[in-house]
Structure 1
Amino acid sequence: MMTGRLAGIARHARSRGPIEVIDHVSVSLKGGLAGDFRGAVRPGGKGKRQVSLIEAGDWAAAMAELGADLHWSVRRANLLVEGLDLPQTAGAVLAIGRDVRLEITVECDPCSRMEEIAPGLKAVLTPDWRGGALARVLSGGDIAVGDEIRIEE
């Protein structure tokens, strides 16, 4: 079984709001990461964008290509994954820690906001899912930096 570790957690309470980097968080089916505005499932919604993940290696490669040294949280992703290639297939399931299960739903395409942060950032995040993946919560619980991440399906 392939495993990695949770290297970072970030959330933002509102659209375009400041990013808060934290070391642990509760995750729920209805709300995603506690305190993150994107996690709430709207009435009739499917929760396809509850949690965003990015690989530490992909971020490092993007920074090298850009010639920059920006903190990963400017990507506005919720979870930084280290030592594991995220599945690039909708339906793949990730387990984090003891209880949390996430289902990959779609690639997290970098938006124009990335260009506001640094010219060229959107372009270096575009190839090969380098901008990360989006997921829905299948089972909630508490997660913390350092927790093991596994691909289950």
Structure 2
Amino acid sequence: MGVLAGIARHGRPKGPMETLAQVDVTLEGGLHGDFRGVIKPGGRGRRQVTLLERGDWEAAMAEVGHSLPWFERRANLLVEGLDLPQIAGTRLLIGETVTLMITRETDPCERMEALAPGLKAALLPYWRGGACARVQVGGTIRVGDTIMVLEE
């Protein structure tokens, strides 16, 4: 079991990240106010919510010799104390109700290289760049909520 250590969203592409103490999560919109969460007509919503492990971010930062805040990765949720499963279809429970299904790895983009030379490469191994997920059950999540892998 892990803990939700951070929540962030951005209202438009390349827009500034906003950190939050809590947020509503819906099947149709992902994190309230985050532009990526809305499923486009005919879309599959494979990237509604992105998750990042604190340990992976810290390891990448150490590798490139920087100390940037986690939300510079542009992920929505910072996970602490839980090794995110690297298997599409795995379900996570956050707090009492919110359920996410991991859909794929979050590939690091060129934007990471602009933050720190070598960061894109540092995020490539072992899903270090995070995981993408789709909302299966909505609700409200808060920093400090537990996160656990649901057994099938």
TM-score by length of 1: 0.97
For residue 84 of structure 1, the aligned residue among 82, 85, 92 is 82
Report Cα offsets for 1:36-68 as digits up to 9, x if no partner.
Answer: 000000111111000000000101111111111
CA distance in 2, matches of 1:57, 1:42: 32
Q: Distance in 1 between matches of 2:115 and 2:27?
A: 31
Aligned to 2:29: 31
1:117 Cα deviation from its structure 2 partner: 1.4
1:96 corresponds in structure 2 to: 94
2: CA distance, partners of 1:21 / 1:66: 24
Q: C-alpha distance in 2, partners of 1:59/1:8?
A: 13
Alignment of 1:9-20 (within 5 A): 9-20=7-18
Q: Percent identity?
A: 64
Q: Which blocks of at least 5 consecutive residues in structure 1 are unaligned?
A: none
Deviation at 1:120, TM superposition (A): 1.1
Q: What amino acid sits opposite 1:11 in the alignment?
A: R
SS in 1 for 2:72: helix
Q: How big is the shift at 1:83?
A: 0.1
Partner of 2:134: 136
Question: Is 2:68 the counterpart of 1:70?
Answer: yes
Q: In the alignment, is residue 145 of structure 1 matched against residue 115 of structure 2? A: no
For residues 29 and 133 of structure 1, the distance between their equivalents in structure 2, rounded to whole angstroms, comes to: 18
Could you report, residue by residue, the CA deviation over 1:50-108 in whole angstroms, capped at 9, with x for unpaired residues? 00000001011111111110000000000000000000000000000011000000000
Q: Which amino acid aligns with 2:70?
A: W
Code of the residue aligned with 2:44 in structure 1: it is K
Partner Cα distance (1:122, 1:149) in 2: 27
SS of the equivalent of 1:42 reads coil
Partner amino acid for 2:107? Answer: D
How far apart are the structure 2 equivalents of 1:119 and 1:64? 12
